[in-house]
A = this chain, B = another copy of it.
Amino acid sequence: MNKHVVLLPGDGIGKEVMESARLVLEAVAERNGHHFTFEEKLIGGAAIDEMGDPLPRETVEAAEKADAVLLGAVGGPSWDHLPGSGRPEQGLLGIRKQLGLFANLRPVKGFRQLLHASPLKKEVVEGSDLLIVRELTGGLYFGEPQERSEDGEGVVDTLSYSRKEIERIVEQGFESARKRRKQLTSVDKANVLESSRMWREIVEEKRADYPDVKVDHMLVDAAAMKLVTDPTYFDVVVTENMFGDILSDEASVLTGSLGLLPSASLREDGTGLYEPVHGSAPDIAGEDKANPLAMILSAAMMLKHSFHMEKEAEHVEKAVQEVLDAGYHTADLSVVNGTELGCTDLTRKVIEQITSED
């Protein structure tokens, strides 16, 4: 298959880990007779520096024409003094909205080698394997009005959703659950918010279409507790944008594997943007110390969700697992009796696995 991928390395270690993902994808293409073309564009701080805009129009245009987009990371102290609307994160929020990437998939799985780095007791966290499906283009993030009153004495943000926006993300939650352990937890605050009451109604409507999926409703405060006390309870969690932001970050630190977590942000037609959960780590940028595995696993999510290359995606995931099994890791991970490598060398190990797999 021919696929065109837009690469948005962004800032900090984004550039290094993007190079790793590109090399891995080339190895996958070669091995499986695919042809991937790559086009690099600016976003975030790098785009501010070169073009005065965290999301240049040509970046959006290129992304719109691509089969999928990979993003490294945005942000860093050099842009912290800028006002809200001109900051690197606006590039991220902007591209999600402009491409219509309404479904954010955040899998959280503990790699055996890293479980010891979890803040949770082994018996609590062991076996955790959950997926948070977060609505990404609605709610408090984009609702209007969002403004101060004229006299500056009041301020308002708006949590708004259309029925259609809730329906499509709830469907995504059910579809994801169907492909996994068939248990969907819908998280809301229905005892307080009208939007949550509508959300709950829509989940109840949709469940008839997914009789094979077990559904429960949980209040967001209860979910924030249960993620810590009983993470193995969860299979798929579906929730609105802000709750999803908070809960997916909370979930990301449970297994000690934050440096390895990928994410996907999907559109209805299957196009998607894939990025690691970790940040731009400006303190180690350019030193060949970055951990490329979350970016590589994000590329694997792309193979699966946008290109329907399930087998190729599994190859990449297996290669990462085998490299960890062999004890190889970057400096950010503490692996017992492991071998520490730089970003380039660790990437090479992953590629060797992919090339040699059968």
Contacts and interface: CB of A to CB of B under 8 A. Distances in A.
A309 interface: no
- In the A-B complex, the 9 residue pairs with the smallest Cβ-Cβ separation, listed nearest first, are A221-B249, A224-B250, A157-B159, A156-B160, A155-B198, A119-B124, A155-B195, A225-B253, A157-B193
Nearest to A161: B155
B224 A148 contact: no
A156 B246 contact: no
A22 to B, nearest CB: 29
Given A224-B224, A252-B225, A159 B147 contact: no
Given A120-B119, A253-B225, A195 B157 contact: yes
A114 interface: no
Residue among A119, A161, A198, A248 with the highest chain B CB neighbour number at 10 A: A119
Contacts of A189: 242, 245
Nearest to A87: B191
Interface in A207-248: 220-222, 224-225, 227-230, 242-243, 245-248
21 contacts: A84-B191, A84-B197, A89-B191, A118-B121, A119-B121, A120-B120, A120-B121, A121-B121, A140-B159, A140-B192, A146-B193, A154-B162, A155-B160, A155-B161, A155-B198, A157-B194, A189-B242, A222-B249, A224-B249, A228-B253, A250-B250
Interface of A: 84, 87, 89, 93, 118-121, 124, 140-141, 143, 146-148, 152-164, 189-195, 197-198, 220-222, 224-225, 227-230, 242-243, 245-250, 252-254
A156 B153 contact: no
A187 to B, nearest CB: 10
A224 B223 CA distance: 12
Contacts of A89: 191
